[in-house]
Amino acid sequence: MYHTNQAVYQDTIAAISTPIGEGGIGIVRLSGREARPIAQRLFPKQLENRRLIYGHIIDPESADVVDEVLVAYMEAPHTYTREDLVEIDCHGGPLPLQRILELTLRCGARLANPGEFTLRAFLNGRIDLAQAESVLDVVLAKTEASLRLAVQGLGGRLSKPIQEVRGSLMHILAYLTARIDFPEDEVEEQDIARPLQGAQLMLQDLIASADAGMVYRQGVRTAIVGRPNVGKSSLLNRLLRQSRAIVTPIPGTTRDTLEEVVNLKGVPFLLIDTAGIIDSVDEVGALAVERSKRAIEQADFVLFVIDASEPLTDSDRQLVDLLGEKTVLVAANKCDLPSRAETDELPWLQVSTSALTGEGLTDLENGVVNAVLGGRVVTSDAPLVTNPRHKEALLRAKEHLSHAQTAIAEGLPDDFITIDLTAALNALGEITGETVTEDLLETIFSRFCIGK
């Protein structure tokens, strides 16, 4: 489906680039050498570069008017794909969009693959692979912080330090290759240990940012757990600032998991309100408890709610055993009542709060964010690794540099050092696209929507 061979992309692609459904405006986009001729067969008025022209799309076979439109033609290379590009702005109903798309295909265009417009932008050198992935991050951003990080990635915030490290390693590799290829010539001695150490430190800083970066990008799957009637659903409503979960004084009101997304300090949290976990003889209750246990297993983080106005129960202690090695914050709820819970036996950080009055809610939100970020927050000036693929490639590059440093320290021949330097360069090239494979391209761009 995806090819690095640019000869494959001599054809022209078309796709609907706006979401399916009813809307004020919909866009059909074409890219390629025949984008303008195809559009002109459907649009009688003459298209001009970077001019928005009003008119109608006409079916060339029946001469029927399909829709009233605005058409923009943009000439290569100053376009998103660096190819000739046409965008047809029509009414946003499914029928006119589909009719116009079908006409472009009938006139010689091919339906675009998922992400193929962005793929062409990458292959034609307008953006690198890390920037291409940031395009998808912009589309999927759930908070202002995650959007800001995605836009920074699109602008090359991560690519710049990666290219800086690659440039340093390429210089070292060229020097060592010259020493290997021309042993009889005098190659001026260079200090390679210091730049290697500098590259290693830069990779370490990037890797250290990865866990926090991925939290901002992917969000945190958070299970709210506790025995019945401790205030789990009430806390969910408080965090959401709306009455989303049903709350009654009757224990066991929640009979299924309920999922909602909330933005806490720029981090998207998928909050999962679970049924109280106790032994149940009721079949529906047993199913609810089983789903709660599954939610705990799948969670990245657990908010363990206890009733601070009562002593800890056997059910509370069973939950402690169930949570195991999870990252947990204890919400000691009902702090508006006299405290009777002996919480010293709980192994996690605790925050006192009241779902009834809202007391301690800010402390709870801060505690949740600090627990998942480990105290690290996003800043505007530092590059942040937000993609698991990038982190894995950085770890491999760092490992190869460590091997190269060991080879230097042990006085091994230059060939041993160049092997690891080449491997490190290839790993870093997977991030920006210099050493990309077709399988990797397919994996990345298959996650895009058609039309982007």
* Confidence category of residue 14, pLDDT binned at 50, 70, 90: very high
For 45-73, the pLDDT digits (tens) are: 999 999 999 999 999 999 999 999 999 99
The dihedrals phi and psi of 149, each to the nearest 5 degrees, come to -65, -40
Angstrom distance (rounded) from CA 356 to CA 372: 25
> Rounded CA gap, 142 and 170, in Å?
38
Residue 164: per-residue pLDDT: 94
Q: Where are the beta strands (DSSP E) in 12-120?
A: 13-16, 25-31, 52-58, 65-74, 85-91, 110-111
User: pLDDT category, 292, cuts 50, 70, 90?
Assistant: confident
3-class state of residue 446 by DSSP: coil
Q: Which residue, among 34, 9, 29, 18, has the nearest Cα to 120 in the 3D structure?
A: 9
Rounded Cα gap, residues 106 and 118, in angstroms: 24
Least confident segment among 28-42, 92-106, 359-373, 377-391: 377-391
Domain with residues 134-209+384-445, CATH architecture: Up-down Bundle (1.20)
Domain 7-112, architecture per CATH = 2-Layer Sandwich (3.30)
Q: Which among 83, 3, 1 has a CA at the least distance from the CA of 35?
A: 83
CA–CA distance, 348 with 422 (Å, rounded to integer): 45
Give, to the nearest 10 degrees, the angle between helix 414-432 and helix 159-181.
150
Domain 219-373 part of CATH 3.40.50.300: yes
Q: Are strands 65-74 and 85-91 parallel, antiparallel or unpaired?
A: antiparallel
DSSP 2: -
Neighbour tally for 65: CB within 10 Å:
11
Which pLDDT value is given to residue 377? 57
Answer yes or no: is pLDDT of 284 > 60: no
pLDDT at 174 over 70: yes
Radius of gyration over every alpha carbon of the chain, rounded to an integer in angstroms: 29
pLDDT higher than threshold 60 for residue 380: no
What is this structure's pTM? 0.80
In what side-by-side order are the strands of the sheet with 301-307? 258-264, 267-273, 220-225, 301-307, 328-333, 350-352
The whole-number pLDDT of residue 250 equals: 43
Distance CA 86, CA 394 (A): 38
Neighbours of 99 (CB within 10 A): 17
Q: Residue 224's beta-bridge partner residues?
A: 273, 303
CA distances from 106 to 14, 61, 269 (A): 11, 10, 46
The answer, yes or no, to whether residue 376 has pLDDT greater than 70, is no
Domain range annotation of the chain: 7-112, 134-209+384-445, 219-373
Domain 134-209+384-445 matches domain 219-373 at the CATH topology level = no
Tokens of 50: 């970077």
For 382-414, what is each residue's pLDDT tens digit? Answer: 677 889 999 999 999 999 999 999 999 998 999
How crowded is residue 184: how many other Cβ atoms within 10 Å of its Cβ?
4
What gap in Å lies between CA 121 and CA 200, rounded to an integer? Answer: 31
310-364 pLDDT, tens per residue?
A: 888 888 888 888 887 888 999 898 998 888 877 777 888 889 999 888 898 999 9
Pairing of strands 110-111, 52-58: unpaired
Could you tell me the pLDDT band of residue 7, with boundaries at 50, 70 and 90? very low
Q: What is the per-residue pLDDT for 99?
A: 96
Round to whole Å and give the CA distance between 335 and 338: 7
Report the C-alpha gap between 216 and 220 in whole angstroms: 8
